[in-house]
Structure 1
Amino acid sequence: MKLHHLRNATLVIEYKDKVVLVDPMLGAKGTSLPFTLFRFKPRRNPLVDLPESDEILNKVTHCLVTHLHPDHLDKDAEIFLKEKNIPVTTSIDHASELIKRGLNVTQKLEYWKEEEFLGGKITGIPAIHGYGFISKPMGHVVGFYIEMPEEKSIYISADTVYTEHVDKVLHEMKPDISVVACGTAQLDFGKPLLMTMDDIIKFVKNSPNQVLANHLEALNHCPTTRAQLKIELDKHGLLEKVFIPNDGESKDY
């Protein structure tokens, strides 16, 4: 299995002839509005260019969508998915909206219900997008736990804070690779939308195996940098456990 980190939460999971695109944000740098105007500098998103990715994107056979925010499914990504008629797996909460947008939704997941997926298995995992009241307007989010024959299991926790659901996956399902969003995103009001640094450290400590950290340095409402994350992980003796990819970087597992 090979993981390709493109930008933000956009990930490609390559299993031989099966290539799964996760949460595609494919638009050019600066083509979207800022997510915050006052708490952080109001720069247009994405903050960085999409790295050269035509080769891997041309191989995509399937797509997973955790939720409908534009940093996880933007207009360019919708065009890409429609033009190539890529089969999409998402939660039952998002399926009808994606069908309205013209996407080829072939699988609608219910939480904790294991289903067949590309010759393996996939389970939808609840995700809570923010601490306190802010999670309500953020809407539904689904994480994914994927098991493929003769491959490492992977948990894509999605945009979430640390919850009992996250804890259950880490302790009971014991993924070989756990993906966690580390940007500590915040809007101009309310608490963080993603895990605080304390909860990121908790996630890494409780992960039974390797961790991939993403959702970093691509959006104006995500203040945590790769350098800051490395410093905190190092303080806790966890740095070697975590892969913090640069945009466009890949790793074999």
Structure 2
Amino acid sequence: MKIHHLRNATALLTLGEHRLLIDPMLARQGAFTGFKFFGGGRRPNPLVPLPPDTFSWLEEATGVLVTHAHPDHLDTAGLRWIRKHGLPVWTSREEAPNLRKRGLAVRELDDGALGMRVERIPVRHGRGLLARLLGRVSGYYLAHPDEPSVFLTSDAVLTEDLLEAVERLQPDVIIAPAGAANFGVGGDILFSVDELVTLVRRAPGRVVLNHLEALDHCPTTREGLRERMKAEGLLEKVLIPRDGEELHFTRQERASWPTAPGPGSTQERERASLASHTEASAP
């Protein structure tokens, strides 16, 4: 399995013969409005450009997976690119009618689709009234017979239902948003850093943290996240890719992946270097 992180939540996910473009936000830097509506700090989004070779890499895509159609997961530039290339778009039954109206060749991502085990996990994008306003969001568990399994949480906060899915499915890799997005009112609409610590502790394998340093309402930085994970004794269990970086995983690696120390533990464990799992493809 390969995760080629591009920017924010956009990535190319290689599972067997499939190369799925995940949640394409392909706009140029500063192309649309800021999301930080209150409290200052509003800036045009995206904050950073795509890596220089992005559109060459995208030629590998065989399909698109859209977890939900918010503009930081499917923007106008992403729509144009998908239509131009005529790729199938995999999404939930609930999201499918909306995307068909936008001229996309939509297929429902149900169990058995793409020749693999699939489970849709409904997740909560914020809390209270704000979560209801943001609408339904789907996480996905994908288990290709020849690859490590992966759980894309999509945009979520920590809930008992989400933790139950992690415990039940035991995904080899979790991909989770780490930006702690906040409109300036109504609380975080993505995992807080404290919630990420809990998620990483409960995860059976690696956790890839994305949705960072690309949008004005996501204050968490890569460096700050690394420092917190290091302080918690969890740093070697997480991967925080740079824009343009590739992460590689094999099924054989699972047995040797580190188990996180329990809460309050200060024991230092020797673990294999994450360099064996990553390959930088951006400067």
Whose strand proportion is higher, 1 or 2? 1
Asked if structure 1 preserves the Cα contact closer than 8 Å seen for 2:16 and 2:144, the reply is no
Partner of 2:257: none
- Asked if the contact 1:170/1:207 (under 8 Å) is kept, the reply is yes
Amino acid across the alignment from 2:222:
R
Structure 1 residue 16: Cα displacement: 4.6
Correspondence for 1:164: 160
Tell me if 1:65 matches 2:66: yes
Question: 2:170, 2:50 → 1: CA distance?
Answer: 32
- Structure 2, unpaired ranges of 5+: 250-283
Contact 1:30/1:47 (<8 A) preserved: yes
Residues 163-202 of structure 1 show CA distances to partners (whole Å, capped at 9, x for unaligned) of: 1221122111000000110000011321110111111100
Matched, 1:153 2:149: yes
Instruction: Give, as a single letter, the amino acid of the residue that structure 1 aligns with 2:221.
Output: T
Give me the whole-angstrom Cα distance separating, in 2, the residues matched to 1:108 and 1:170: 19
Deviations 1:106-160 (A, max 9, x none): 1155xxxxx1122212111111000232101011100010000110000000100
**Match of 2:22, as an amino acid?**
V
Q: How does 1:123-202 map to 2 (within 5 A)?
A: 123-202=119-198
What is the DSSP-based 3-state SS (H/G/I as helix, E as strand, rest coil) of the residue aligned with 2:214? coil
Cα distance in structure 2, aligned partners of 1:190 and 1:40: 15
Change over 3 Å in CA distance of 1:245–1:10 after alignment to 2? same
CA–CA separation in structure 2 for the residues paired with 1:195 and 1:213? 11
For 1:112, the equivalent position in structure 2 comes to none
Matched ranges for 1:200-215 at <5 A: 200-215=196-211
Greater Cα shift, 38-47 or 20-29: 38-47
Contact map agreement 1:8 1:218 (CA 8 A) in 2: yes
Match of 1:41 in 2: 41
Supply the distance in 2 between the matched residues of 1:119 and 1:193 (Cα, whole angstroms). Answer: 33
Measured in 1, the distance between the counterparts of 2:16 and 2:130 equals 40
Number of residue-to-residue matches in the alignment = 248
TM alignment of 1:14-163, pairs within 5 A: 14-51=14-51, 52-109=53-110, 115-163=111-159
Q: Is the 8 A contact 1:3 1:11 kept in 2?
A: yes
C-alpha separation in 2, matches of 1:37 and 1:131: 17
Q: Which residue of 2 aligns with 1:232?
A: 228
Which whole-Å CA distance do the structure 1 matches of 2:176 and 2:94 have between them?
A: 22
CA RMSD of aligned residues (A): 1.1
Query: Which consecutive residues of structure 1, in runs of 5 or more, have no partner in the other structure?
Result: 110-114
Query: For the Cα contact (< 8 Å) 1:178–1:211, is it kept in 2?
Result: yes
Please name the residue that 1:8 is paired with: 8
Cα-to-partner distance string for 1:182-223 (whole Å, 9 max, x where unaligned): 000011321110111111100000000001000000000000
Q: Distance in 1 between matches of 2:4 and 2:43?
A: 26
What secondary structure sits across from 2:162 in the alignment?
helix
The 8 Å contact of residues 95 and 108 in structure 1, kept in 2 or not, is answered as no
The Cα of 1:232 is off from its aligned counterpart by 0.8
Alignment partners' CA distance in 2, 1:81 and 1:240: 36
Rate the CA distance shift 1:40–1:247 in 2: closer, same or farther, 3 A. farther
* Alignment check: 8 A CA contact 1:169 1:175 kept: no
TM norm structure 1: 0.95
Alpha-carbon distance in structure 2 between the residues aligned to 1:6 and 1:238 = 24
Match of 1:242 in 2: 238
The separation in 2 between residues aligned to 1:142 and 1:101, in whole angstroms, is 19
